[in-house]
Amino acid sequence: MHEAVMSENMLTVQQPPASTRKQQQRAENFQSIAVRAVQITVAVGFFALWEWGARSGAISSFLFSSPSEVWALALARIRDGSLIYGAYVTGMETLAGFVVGSLLGTALGLGLWYSRFLARVMSVFVLALGSIPVLALGPLIIIWFGTGIESKIVLATVSCVIVALLQAYEGAQQVDKDLIRLLTSFGATKRQIFTKVVIPSSSSWVVAAAKLNVGFSLIGAVIGEYISSQHGLGNLILIAGANYNISLVLLGVFSLMILAFALSSFVGVVEHKLLGWKLAGR
Amino acid sequence: MEASISGAAVRGATGREAKRARVEVKGVSKWFDTKDGQVQALRDVNLTVLDQEFTCIVGPSGCGKSTLFNIIAGLLEPSRGQIVVDGTPIKMGMAGRLGYMQQKDLLIPWRTILRNVTIGLEIQGRPEGESRELAMRYLKMFGLAKYADSFPASLSGGMKQRVALIRTLVMGQDIILMDEPFQSLDYPTRVALEAELLEMVQELKRTVLFVTHDIEEAVSIADKVYVLSKGPGTVRDLRTIRLNMKRESPIDARKSAEFHEHYAAIWNQLEVVTNLRKESQHA
């Protein structure tokens, strides 16, 4: 038996020699650095060109503002707290809608695994609901839930619930049938199969949906703010646009960009926690 | 070691008649409905697995081995005949009576090796501490204890198949069905695993029914080999294998003179089968 184990190890622990691996690693590192350097150059170049254009008069600074103006405005708005508050409101609306929508959609999508009949009945309604543009629902939801934060949360929820549902359902359908048979051979109940195999194996689908949905929720929240609101980044952009305050519009847009980035990094952290096993072999 | 010596003594002194039958396949036939009408996969298959015996079923691909395996495992209903385990006819869906291992390792990627081994025990509601202890004991026996907290993705094919074997053994059923479990492994790994399996099975006094299309594998590990003919599958021959060196290891078994005798005899059986089939096709 020991001989057998040893011969097996000799066969399986055949990795490329250390020197080649190091070279590969080095090449990989070099490329990551190069990618980052080019990215920074492009961004800096873009802002420099824009600033130069605005100052030299090559582009209209009234229509396009300039990085320095946007930056000055950003500092002022951060100092008086209004920018942070706006981002906070929009961020909370998005996050609340995202969490509610993802949980609801995932629960429904996975739950449909229990009944293939119900899933088939529901499919046409899910597609019908999913095909409605969120913008079209805006006025109704504002009337039903008011002009406060609630209507934005509902819009953000509606924006992501269908994608979460479809992804979770698809994930549940993709579960390895042999794995289910194995558990059945141990005498597993349907509930045990659901909790031990279906839910965990759908997790990569659920996380993939979440990555998309963070963006969709943000769209939903901003749409709500556009239709009727007193606060938030959408409100800020809407009012600035009405006043031809291009610098403020651009500040709002950049703030939304940063907010979206922060929210998707948050999902990335959750993904890493949920799907740590996927990275184990690499 | 002691177990295997006494086991051999029983075998030598009293012969196999003295042992009780654990699994009996009685007159099993199976037809499948296809769009071209009914196709017969198995025809009147009879075989018996005795207590603590290592029985192999060999046959060419398409002889209905897997069908027979699934019927014995209780995952498929025979069209005719029955399966008797320990004197009781078994019905479909009687999961958990027999241990079960397949070609695919079916390890759950998000569970650690330890938790993959304990999945069956967990489903049966055994206390967690007890399951972990049992699993660790088996992992140690197979030299895999240091991988207990690793994920399957970081293990080689041979190691994964060992874990699948442990997952089957840990359930404690003393009859184990195996369907080409080492098929996807490279040759040396396969021989190593055959040796480990043989040693474990003797030490733990398990009864094994092992399906394979590899004659070499069958002759080097089995006490008894049933040769199945091609579609519809039926038992063509039963060979009792008694290799002097077999109990040492399947590697030594392959060196013995009787090994080649059995190998050639079974091979000829399969040749005859293919010739017959050609003739019947011409007719």
Option in B122, B123, B189 nearest A11 (CB): B189
Task: Give contacts of A176 with chain B, Cβ < 8 Å.
Answer: 106
Kindly state whether residues A108 and A248 are assigned to the same domain: yes
Return the pLDDT at A9: 44
In angstroms, the separation between the Cα of residue B144 and the nearest Cα of chain A is 10
Return the pLDDT at B275: 56
Q: Is residue A160 part of a domain?
A: yes
Work out the average pLDDT over A189-195. 90
Q: Is residue A102 part of a domain?
A: yes
- What pTM, to 2 d.p., does this model score? 0.73
Option in B75, B100, B188 nearest A7 (CB): B188
- Tell me how far apart the alpha carbons of residues A220 and A209 are, in angstroms, rounded to a whole number: 16
- pLDDT band, very low/low/confident/very high, at A1 (cuts 50, 70, 90): very low
Q: Is residue A1 part of a domain?
A: no
Q: How far is CA B17 from the centre of its chain?
A: 22
pLDDT over 90 percentage in chain A: 56
Which of these ranges, A121-135, B62-76, B117-131, B135-149, has the smallest mean pLDDT? B62-76
- pLDDT band, very low/low/confident/very high, at B167 (cuts 50, 70, 90): very high
CB contact under 8 A, B109 and A187: no
Q: Is residue A198 part of a domain?
A: yes
In angstroms, the separation between the Cα of residue B282 and the nearest Cα of chain A is 39
Q: Is residue A8 part of a domain?
A: no
Q: Is the peptide bond before B232 cis (omega within 30 degrees of 0)?
A: yes
Kindly state whether residues A235 and A123 are assigned to the same domain: yes
CA distances from B89 to B41, B43, B233 (A): 21, 19, 22
Structural domain that includes position A29 = 16-64
Q: What are A250's two structure tokens? A: 């651009």
CB contact under 8 A, A278 and B123: no
Return the pLDDT at B11: 43
Per-residue pLDDT tens digits for B219-238: 888 888 898 887 688 888 78
CB contact under 8 A, B100 and A185: yes
CB contact under 8 A, B122 and A196: yes
CB contact under 8 A, A1 and B108: no
**B106 and A CB contact within 8 Å:** yes
User: Residues B153, A280: contact at Cβ < 8 Å?
Assistant: yes
Return the pLDDT at B17: 47
For the domain that residue A222 is a member of, what is the CATH number?
1.10.3720.10
CB contact under 8 A, B154 and A7: no
Q: Is residue A269 part of a domain?
A: yes
Return the pLDDT at A267: 87
* Last residue within a domain, chosen from A8, A34, A64: A64
- pLDDT band, very low/low/confident/very high, at A160 (cuts 50, 70, 90): very high
Option in A1, A11, A182 nearest B196 (CB): A1
Kindly state whether residues A178 and A265 are assigned to the same domain: yes
CB contact under 8 A, B186 and A11: yes
In angstroms, the separation between the Cα of residue A194 and the nearest Cα of chain B is 12
Q: What are B9's two structure tokens? A: 């003594």
* pLDDT above 70 (res B265): yes
* Last residue within a domain, chosen from A25, A45, A64: A64
Kindly state whether residues A86 and A195 are assigned to the same domain: yes
In angstroms, the separation between the Cα of residue B168 and the nearest Cα of chain A is 10
Which is nearest to A185 in space by CA: B132, B70, B182, B200? B70
- Domain count along chain A: 2
Kindly state whether residues A53 and A77 are assigned to the same domain: no
Kindly state whether residues A52 and A105 are assigned to the same domain: no
Option in A5, A178, A185 nearest B95 (CB): A185
CB contact under 8 A, A12 and B109: no
Interface residues from chain A to B (CB-CB < 8 Å) = 1-2, 4-5, 7-8, 11-12, 176, 178-179, 181-188, 192, 196-197, 200-201, 203, 275, 277-278, 280-282
Domains with residue ranges and CATH for chain B: 2-98+175-282 (3.40.50.300), 105-172 (no CATH)
Task: Give contacts of A282 with chain B, Cβ < 8 Å.
Answer: 153
Q: Which of B94, B115, B119 to mutate to test the interface with A (most CBs of A within 10 A)?
A: B119
Q: Is residue A10 part of a domain?
A: no
What residues are paired with B208 via a beta bridge?
A: B54, B176
Per-residue pLDDT tens digits for A84-108: 999 999 999 999 999 999 999 999 9
Kindly state whether residues A21 and A139 are assigned to the same domain: no
Return the pLDDT at A15: 53
Which of these ranges, B133-142, B166-175, B274-283, has the smallest mean pLDDT? B274-283
- Tell me how far apart the alpha carbons of residues A186 and B171 are, in angstroms, rounded to a whole number: 9
Return the pLDDT at B142: 87
Return the pLDDT at B20: 86
Work out the average pLDDT over A194-211. 89
Option in A4, A8, A187 nearest B123 (CB): A187
Report how many Cβ contacts below 8 Å link chain A to chain B.
89
CA distances from B187 to A11, B33, B247 (A): 11, 37, 20
Option in B109, B123, B156 nearest A277 (CB): B109
Per-residue pLDDT tens digits for A236-270: 999 999 999 999 999 999 999 999 999 989 888 88
Kindly state whether residues A84 and A215 are assigned to the same domain: yes
Tell me the H-state helices in B90-227. 113-117, 119-123, 128-141, 157-169, 187-203, 215-221
- Tell me how far apart the alpha carbons of residues A105 and A109 are, in angstroms, rounded to a whole number: 6
Return the pLDDT at B255: 76
Q: Is the ipTM of this complex over 0.95?
A: no
Q: What are B264's two structure tokens? A: 């050639």
* pLDDT above 70 (res B276): no
- pLDDT band, very low/low/confident/very high, at B4 (cuts 50, 70, 90): very low
Task: Give contacts of B119 with chain A, Cβ < 8 Å.
Answer: 183, 186, 196
Return the pLDDT at A3: 41
- Tell me how far apart the alpha carbons of residues A247 and A67 are, in angstroms, rounded to a whole number: 9
Kindly state whether residues A76 and A210 are assigned to the same domain: yes
Kindly state whether residues A89 and A48 are assigned to the same domain: no
Per-residue pLDDT tens digits for B180-201: 888 888 888 888 888 888 888 8
CB contact under 8 A, B122 and A5: no
Return the pLDDT at A8: 43
Kindly state whether residues A59 and A176 are assigned to the same domain: no
Q: Is residue A73 part of a domain?
A: yes
Work out the average pLDDT over B16-29. 80
- pLDDT band, very low/low/confident/very high, at A42 (cuts 50, 70, 90): very high
Q: What is the largest CA-CA distance in chain B?
A: 65
* pLDDT above 70 (res B7): no
Kindly state whether residues A129 and A37 are assigned to the same domain: no
User: Residues B214, B184: contact at Cβ < 8 Å?
Assistant: no
- pLDDT band, very low/low/confident/very high, at A18 (cuts 50, 70, 90): low
Work out the average pLDDT over A23-47. 91
Instruction: Give SS3 for B28.
Output: strand
- pLDDT band, very low/low/confident/very high, at B124 (cuts 50, 70, 90): confident
